[in-house]
């Protein structure tokens, strides 16, 4: 089914997050990728959370908790050995990719629909 409208900023930022997560797999491993991912994810989460607050979004608590779990995962990963083995790079990347995929096509879609119905799109 073709979508007729979407939140451009949200789609663009999700795409950038998927691309950064993909870079975790690159050899040799660049620990800077995790730092960039953390900063970019934070920038994205803060923006979504600002919309939730401004619009008094009814599902904000669960959504912010989901963001917080991702924040914690990334924080733990940043403490990982920067010489990590390739198998670990792949599993970290896959784990984050699956998390983001579920999030983006799950609760983020609900938020998108809510924002699109508001005056703040």
Which CB, 21 or 108, lies closer to Fe ion? 108
Burial status of residue 60 (CB atoms within 10 A of its CB: 0-12, 13-18, 19 or more): middle
Assess 112 for contact with Fe ion (CB under 5 A): no
Q: Which stretch binds Fe ion (CB under 5 A): 34-42, 52-60, 89-97, 108-116?
A: 108-116
Site string for Fe ion, 42-81 (x = CB under 5 A): ------x---------------------------------
**Cβ of residue 19: shortest distance to Fe ion, in angstroms?**
14
Which CB, 66 or 84, lies closer to Fe ion? 66
The pairs formed by 22-31 with CB atoms below 8 angstroms and a separation of 24 or more are 22/93, 22/97, 24/89, 24/92, 24/93, 24/96, 25/89, 25/90, 25/93, 26/89, 27/86, 27/89, 29/82, 29/83, 29/84, 29/86, 29/89, 31/82
Q: By Cβ distance, which residue is nearest to Fe ion?
A: 108
Task: Please identify which residue in 34, 51, 92, 108 interacts with Fe ion, judged by CB under 5 A.
Answer: 108
**Cβ of residue 112: shortest distance to Fe ion, in angstroms?**
9
Q: Give the separation between CA 81 and CA 55, rounded to whole angstroms.
A: 41
Binding site for Fe ion (CB under 5 A): 48, 108
């Amino acid at each position: 089914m073709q979508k007729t409208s979407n939140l451009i900023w949200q789609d663009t930022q999700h795409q950038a997050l998927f691309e950064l997560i993909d870079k975790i797999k690159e050899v040799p491993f660049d620990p800077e990728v995790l730092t960039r991912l953390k900063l970019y994810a934070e920038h994205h989460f803060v923006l979504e959370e600002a919309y939730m607050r401004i619009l008094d979004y009814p599902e904000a608590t669960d959504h912010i908790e989901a963001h917080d779990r991702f924040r914690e995962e990334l924080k733990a990963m940043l403490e990982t050995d920067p010489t990590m083995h390739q198998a670990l790079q792949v599993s970290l990347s896959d784990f984050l990719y699956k998390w983001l995929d579920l999030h983006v096509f799950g609760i983020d879609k609900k938020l998108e629909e809510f924002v699109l119905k508001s005056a703040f799109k």
